[in-house]
Each structure stands twice: as structure tokens, then as C-alpha cells.
């Protein structure tokens, strides 16, 4: 069994290893900077970014991705988020649980 210190090291590696995000809106990919990253009190790792208003008019986000510092994808998820023509962005948050079985 991994020690608590080892589990914390894995959480920190995940938290610190993610460099940027990317999302696909209307068939085009856009890069997004990480706004927040933290280890939550329950041990989950949370990473957040803004899906901004780069796309003029309404848009549908169909995919979100996270990349490491070498540009290697670490996570991706299919989505179906429709955004109307507004000035605000959408805060998107990944949450990861690391467990040992």
C-alpha cells in the first residue's frame, strides 16, 4: 500500500504537471491558461480554466483537454456546452480522484 506521503506526491505531481488547457468550440481549438489548481480537502486535485469569449456569437464547446509542460495531452473529455453571445466566459473545472485499489 502507498503511504500518505506517496499519495500526496502523486497529487502534487498531477497538480503541478498540468501546464495549459485547450477547448474545441465550433470545430476550432483554442488554448486557455490554467486559472487555478489545488488539492482539495478531500484529496481530489482540481484544475480550472476559462472558456472565454474568443468566439464571436454563440458557440458549442465539444471537447476540453489538459496538457503537460511538454505539450502532451494528459486529459480530455467530450462535452456539449452551448454558450450564447455573451461577454463573460465559462469557468471549467476538472477534478481528479487518485485512489489505490
Sheet holding 73-83, edge to edge: 73-83, 59-68, 18-25, 28-39, 45-51, 90-96
Average pLDDT on 17-38 reads 95
pLDDT tens track for 59-80: 889 999 999 999 999 999 999 9
What's the pLDDT at 12? 97
Tell me what percent of the residues of the chain surpass a pLDDT of 70: 93
What's the pLDDT at 80? 95
3-class DSSP assignment, residue 57 = coil
Q: Enter the pTM of the model.
A: 0.89
- For the chain, which residues make up each domain, given as ranges? 4-96
Amino acid at each position: 500500500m502507498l503511504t500518505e506521503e506517496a499519495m500526496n506526491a502523486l497529487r502534487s505531481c498531477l497538480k503541478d504537471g498540468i501546464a495549459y488547457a485547450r477547448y474545441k468550440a465550433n470545430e476550432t481549438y483554442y488554448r486557455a491558461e490554467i486559472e487555478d489548481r489545488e488539492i482539495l480537502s478531500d484529496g481530489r486535485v482540481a484544475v480550472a480554466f476559462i472558456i472565454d469569449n474568443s468566439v464571436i456569437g454563440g458557440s458549442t464547446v465539444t471537447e476540453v483537454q489538459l496538457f503537460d509542460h511538454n505539450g502532451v495531452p494528459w486529459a480530455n473529455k467530450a462535452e456539449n456546452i452551448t454558450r450564447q453571445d455573451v461577454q463573460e466566459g465559462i469557468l471549467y473545472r476538472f477534478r481528479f480522484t487518485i485512489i489505490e485499489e
